Amino acid sequence: MAAKKKLKTSAMIASIAAEGQPTTSAPFGHALVEAARDNNKIVGMTADLGKYTDLHIFAQEFPERFYQMGMAEQLLMSAGAGMAREGFIPFLTTYSVFASRRAYDFICMAIAEERLNVKIVCALPGLTTGYGPSHQATEDIAIFRGMPNLTIIDPCDAIDIQQSVAAMVEFDGPVYMRLLRGKVPNVLDRFDGYRFEIGKAKRLIDGGDALIISSGLMTMRAVEAADELLEQGIKVTVVHCPTIKPLDEQTLLDEVRRHTGKPVFVAENHSVIGGLGESVAALLMRNKLNANLEQIGLPDEFLDAGALPTLHDRYGISTKEVVKRVEDSVRG
Amino acid sequence: MNASLSDSDAKDIEKLKQHAYRIRRNALLMGEVQGQGYVGQALGVADVLAVAYFQALKFKADDPEWEGRDRFLLSIGHYAIALYAALIEAGIISESEIENYGSDDSILPMSGMAAYTPGMEITGGSLGHGLGIGVGMALGLKRKNSTSLVYNLLSDGELNEGSTWEAAASAGHWQLNNLIAIVDVNDQQADDKSSTVLNYEPIADKWAAFGWETWRVNGNDLGALAQAFSAAIGSSSDKPRVIICDTLMGRGVPLLETRDKTHFIRVDENEWSLALEQLDEVYGIK
């Protein structure tokens, strides 16, 4: 009998792409290079994680516009603020855990309070590494949502990332983006006319039996789940909400109203505390709108280390788990 | 006064002395408006600000955002009263604002914020931010081939913050010879004497070890300050520069100089006019 194949931790080089799934390599780095060709105000700065946030692509292309700031996230944020004060558009990269947990005060007071034009792009959001809690930013959105002036973007795939880089350059103000790096799946190209816009949620699939509002890689899971559920005769609407803040309130309210009496899921690669799910719940509360709202997200726990597929199953954010949740709810 | 100074230097020092007097007076007048304020710090650092604004800095009073200006970053937000006093003396803020100090909707809030006040480059107050912002601005100015300098006034207490040393290491690494840090060493922070809370010595050696060119002067000696600023600006080295200024809180007002030192020196209601009188006396103004 063949030995059971061990799932590797695959932690730092983990790709969220499934086997055989079409991907784009380092979409952020390449998109930033493209944007920087047309805009000489763009500079790249990192806290010793250039290679791990795909910023090395930019550094190779524009060595004179790349600033290695060392493993010093507080400095990265304040120096980024200084660079923006001098009229540049700095893209700062580190991991989500370090930006949110270590550098919060610097982002808050040096950048957001003065609405400076700084883009903070961070890898390993939510559960995208098997390294355990030191690297898993399961609560970054919860941390950042309370910060006034800060726009928060959680892109789904390579297409979203490419378009969001261009959108961030156009947008004058501070942005935090959750980065998927390395080989990033192509998902949204199958939806004709899809365009990432800051502050907009977009309906990708129109179903009617249930609604999934999702952000980040969970939109990929939602789409995969919708495909599988359709085979079982369950039609699911998927609304992709890549801007967590400011929330596209009108679109979300309209979609929830369209699905009155149906299950409404909010799916996110984040703790169930303080993320998109609670944002939507609060939106419905403020508008006195009742819905059969359910959260698909990570538990309020420090998560295990291990292989990502195992962990995504364990914590309920794999496609299989999403299918099961929707199925159970629709079939009652 | 330094005996080696020439007559023209002596005249310059006399002018600086007048500026320092009016900075102190402005600070006391603002303190009187609210019956409180960080006047101890303001009086202590007034000579440093006089030299900074009336010898060192390039600025246009009627255009505080002039691209060619030197940038003066106040990390220590609670020193705002001191910087307002200097900005008023420099003509960047109208003297008429004194009476609004710390009031609702005033452009002079108790803690310094960039959006409120002309000439206030950054929002300070969360300590340990200023030098890092200064590093970014100095890098940005070099990118623009600008000859403007970045000054950052920070406190001995801010040397407790790890972020200050992240920035210090970075400035040394990038050879930011367009960055001048000014450390106000008044040996006082919120809970106690700075040297008791977390010993900062050997302060100059620490900065030197991080790649900085250092000066340490009596921060209430205008001649020494003038020389240090000139040397820091004129140095041809590739290093960032730091001027460490030992100052006396309450300087210029004997009743406050001798009062028990605390972060927030108490001034009783009836003492404001007395403080102003003492200041005039010290400066020989009748």
CA A96 from chain center: how many Å? 10
- Residue A83 to residue B136, Cβ atoms within 8 A: yes
| Nearest residue to A318 via CA among A208, A228, A209 | A228
ipTM of the complex: 0.95
pTM, entire model: 0.96
* H helix runs in chain B, sequence order: 7-34, 39-51, 80-89, 130-143, 162-173, 194-197, 203-209, 222-234, 254-257, 271-282
Q: Are B73 and B150 in contact (CB under 8 A)?
A: yes
- Residue B141 to residue A86, Cβ atoms within 8 A: yes
B68 touches chain A (CB under 8 A): no
SS3 B147: coil
What residues of chain A lie within 8 A of the CB of B135, using their CB? 75, 78-79, 82
Nearest beta carbon to residue A80 from set B115, B136, B169: B136
* H helix runs in chain A, sequence order: 27-38, 56-61, 73-85, 96-97, 104-106, 140-145, 158-170, 217-231, 249-258, 276-286, 308-314, 319-331
Please give the Cα distance from B211 to B189 (Å, whole number).
Answer: 26
What residues of chain B lie within 8 A of the CB of A43, using their CB? 143
Q: Mind telling me how many Å the CA of A117 is from chain B's nearest CA? A: 13
Residue of B nearest to A114 (CA): B115
Size of interface A-B (CB pairs under 8 A): 96
Give pLDDT < 70 ranges for chain B: 1-5
Q: List per-residue pLDDT tens for chain A, 332 residues long.
A: 556 667 665 555 567 888 889 999 999 999 999 999 999 999 999 999 999 999 999 999 999 999 999 999 999 999 999 999 999 999 999 999 999 999 999 999 999 999 999 999 999 999 999 999 999 999 999 999 999 999 999 999 999 999 999 999 999 999 999 999 999 999 999 999 999 999 999 999 999 999 999 999 999 999 999 999 999 999 999 999 999 999 999 999 999 999 999 999 999 999 999 999 999 999 999 999 999 999 999 999 999 999 999 999 999 999 999 999 999 999 98
Mutation target for A interface from B116, B120, B143: give the one with most A CBs within 10 A. Answer: B143
Please give the Cα distance from A244 to A155 (Å, whole number).
Answer: 10
B176 touches chain A (CB under 8 A): no
Q: Mind telling me how many Å the CA of B152 is from chain A's nearest CA? A: 12
* H helix runs in A119-216, sequence order: 140-145, 158-170
B121 touches chain A (CB under 8 A): yes
A222: amino acid identity, one letter = A
Residue of A nearest to B173 (CA): A69
- Residue A75 to residue B135, Cβ atoms within 8 A: yes
A294 touches chain B (CB under 8 A): no
- Residue B133 to residue A82, Cβ atoms within 8 A: yes
- Residue B132 to residue A79, Cβ atoms within 8 A: yes
B202 touches chain A (CB under 8 A): no
CB atoms within 10 A of CB A140: 28
Mutation target for A interface from B73, B163, B175: give the one with most A CBs within 10 A. Answer: B163
Please give the Cα distance from A297 to A285 (Å, whole number).
Answer: 20
Q: Which tokens belong to B96?
A: 């008429």
Q: Are B154 and B181 in contact (CB under 8 A)?
A: yes
A48 touches chain B (CB under 8 A): no
- Residue A72 to residue B166, Cβ atoms within 8 A: yes
- Residue A110 to residue B133, Cβ atoms within 8 A: yes
Q: Mind telling me how many Å the CA of A42 is from chain B's nearest CA? A: 11
What residues of chain B lie within 8 A of the CB of A87, using their CB? 140, 144
Q: Are A110 and A70 in contact (CB under 8 A)?
A: no
A102 class by beta-carbon count within 10 Å (0-12 exposed, 13-18 middle, 19+ buried): middle
Mutation target for B interface from A62, A74, A75, A114: give the one with most B CBs within 10 A. Answer: A75
Residue B2 confidence (pLDDT)? 44
Mutation target for A interface from B73, B111, B129: give the one with most A CBs within 10 A. Answer: B129
